[in-house]
Amino acid sequence: MTLHPMLAALRRHKAGVVLIALQIALTLAIVCNAIFIIGSRIERIQRPSGLDEQNLFMVSQQFVGAPTGDDEATTDKLDSLQLADLSTLRNLPDVQSATPINSLPLANSTWSGGASIKPDEKNEAARVVYFFGGKDLLKTLGVRLVSGRDFTDAEIGHRAFRAANKPTVAIISQALADKLYPAHDALGKAIYFDGGTSPTTIIGIVERLQASTVDSWANAFAWNTALIPTRLDAGYARYAVRAKPGRMDEAMKAATAALYKANPMRVFFFDGKGARGFDEIRANAYRADRGMAILMSMICLILLAVTGAGIVGLTSFWVGQRHKQIGVRRALGARKRDILRYFQTENLMIAGGGALAGIALAVGLNLWLMHRFEMDRIPVWYVLLGVGVVLLLGQLAVFAPAHRASNVPPVVATRSV
């Protein structure tokens, strides 16, 4: 098939062709970037936290009229409140283990500091997010220890939450270990927290442990985490609890009820419920990302539908307009297939032209979004995927009108309008 007559025909209705090509170009630009946003959000949401998330929940509450914790006596008083709660939790039939903890990954209450491999260092080597916990910390979180050992009970201490952070031992994430000691095994080495002078020995390394926030300010150190064997004593206390397999709901209900019974002078967080399953913590943390992905998918769908429908509409019009010419071609010996292919090729040319412009627009839009909204550079294959999608969409949309055109009988040529 020669393209010449087709080009001549296209030149006859430039405006329509330009409008369709423009629409395809814009669609491509938007769809590429939207799919890229969707892809990166899904990737974010699916990152494992490093916890064994099944059967894990958090209790968050505040003691009413609690002492300040500014001196030793009141700190001890706070600690005893916390220990009492923990023994209440551990005695529940549906609870496997429980540990005090300041926050959980994704739970959105973050304690961060600096880590160095030299004492008294002003410029920290890495930002680190702390998790302060007590007995059964690793067991309850379900993190995987890749080297070293768990804390012993003797290593677990406690302090007022505003007192200085000077642990003697810590377990850190593999990411933090690699960052601090890129060339060596970090196990057994010293680490200095918050520009301090007292060393902390790394006694274990866990495979993966995500920070307690997914907000963008913590992106740079989202995997640099340290587990510190210290119960924090404050007016509020949080506990991570692992329920026996399949007994999560029962354990959550029993936990808050038992805590209230043991000591009613407290306020439960989480909208007064006191306990929140890790699945819900995860859903809350990524709610904005999930929302953005859904929104972008909706927009993509509407966009593709609109553009597809637009192509159907305009091609139908062209088919109607060229009814007679099609009849003449058929009468001169063109097969049905030739007519079908004519419209398909025509669409491919228009869509191809639009896609070329669209690639430039897509990259331009991405560069602009990168500049304004700190987005990443779009990988080439997203653009190629987008090109594939719009070309396929064009072919699908043109098929029905083209098929109708191919059914125009040759006898039309002999009739006058």
Partner 1 sequence: MFAYYLDLGLRSLKRSPGLTALMVLTLAFGVAASMTAWSVFRAVSGDPIPWKSSQLYVPQIDMWGPQAQDSNPDSDKGPPDALDYNDAVALMRDHRAKLQSAIYQIGPAVVPADAARHPINTDGHAVFSEFFPMVDAPFQYGSGWTAADDEHRAPVAVIGSKLNAKVFDGGNSVGKTINVDGRDYRVVGVLDDWNPQPRFFDVVNTGGFASEGEGLFLPFNTAIAAGISNNGNTNCNAVPDAGFEGLQRSSCVWIAYMAQLDDTAAATAYRNYLEGFARTRYPDWAPNVRLRSLPEWLDHEHVVPSDTKVSLLIALGLLLVCLVNTAGLLLAKFLRRSPEIGVRRALGAPRAAIYAQFLTEGATIGVAGGVLGLVLTGVGVASVGLVLPRDIANLARLDVSLLFTTLIVAVLAAVLAALYPTFRAARVQPAWQLKSN
Going 330 to 332 to 337 to 341, the CA torsion angle's sign is negative
Q: How far is CA 233 from CA 61, 75, 130, 230, 238, in A?
A: 13, 6, 15, 9, 10
| 3-class DSSP state of 343 | helix
Nearer to partner 1, 208 or 276 (CB): 276
Nearer to partner 1, 130 or 151 (CB): 130
Rounded to an integer, what distance in angstroms lies between the CA atom of residue 245 and that of residue 250? 11
Q: Least CB distance from residue 309 to partner 1, whole Å? A: 5
Nearer to partner 1, 68 or 168 (CB): 68
- What does the block give as tokens for 302? 């509407």
Q: Least CB distance from residue 287 to partner 1, whole Å? A: 5
Nearer to partner 1, 246 or 291 (CB): 291
Nearer to partner 1, 141 or 234 (CB): 234
Q: Are 177 and 184 in contact (CB under 8 A)?
A: no
Residues 6+ apart with CB under 8 A from 347: 311, 315, 394, 395, 397, 398, 402
Secondary structure (DSSP) of 378-410: PPHHHHHHHHHHHHHHHHHHHHHHHHHHHT--G
Rounded to an integer, what distance in angstroms lies between the CA atom of residue 15 and that of residue 281? 54
Q: Are 216 and 56 in contact (CB under 8 A)?
A: no
Nearer to partner 1, 162 or 335 (CB): 162
Nearest to 153 by CA among 165, 139, 173, 143: 139
Q: Least CB distance from residue 218 to partner 1, whole Å? A: 11
CB-based burial label for 164 (10 Å; 0-12, 13-18, 19+): exposed
State the Cα torsion 301-304-310-315 to the nearest 10°.
Answer: -130
Please give the single-letter amino acid code of residue 255. A
Nearer to partner 1, 305 or 384 (CB): 305
- What does the block give as tokens for 254? 């029993």
Nearer to partner 1, 71 or 279 (CB): 71
Q: Least CB distance from residue 149 to partner 1, whole Å? A: 29
Q: Least CB distance from residue 65 to partner 1, whole Å? A: 3
Q: Least CB distance from residue 64 to partner 1, whole Å? A: 4
Q: Least CB distance from residue 263 to partner 1, whole Å? A: 11
| 3-class DSSP state of 198 | coil
Q: Least CB distance from residue 30 to partner 1, whole Å? A: 5
Nearer to partner 1, 356 or 369 (CB): 369
CA angle 110, 114, 117 (to 5 degrees): 140
| 3-class DSSP state of 54 | coil
Q: Least CB distance from residue 244 to partner 1, whole Å? A: 28
Nearer to partner 1, 20 or 227 (CB): 20
Q: Least CB distance from residue 312 to partner 1, whole Å? A: 8
Q: Least CB distance from residue 197 to partner 1, whole Å? A: 11
Rounded to an integer, what distance in angstroms lies between the CA atom of residue 349 and that of residue 19? 14
- What does the block give as tokens for 403? 């098929």
Secondary structure (DSSP) of 129-176: EEEEB-TTHHHHHTPPEEEE-PPPGGG-EEEETTS----SEEEEEHHH
Nearer to partner 1, 85 or 94 (CB): 85
Which residues of the chain form contacts with partner 1 (CB under 8 A)?
A: 15-16, 19-20, 22-23, 26-27, 29-30, 33-34, 37, 62, 64-66, 68-71, 122-124, 160, 162-165, 194-196, 217, 235, 264-269, 272, 287-288, 290-292, 294-296, 298-299, 302-303, 305-307, 309-310, 312-314, 317-318, 320-321, 369, 372-375
Please give the single-letter amino acid code of residue 324. K
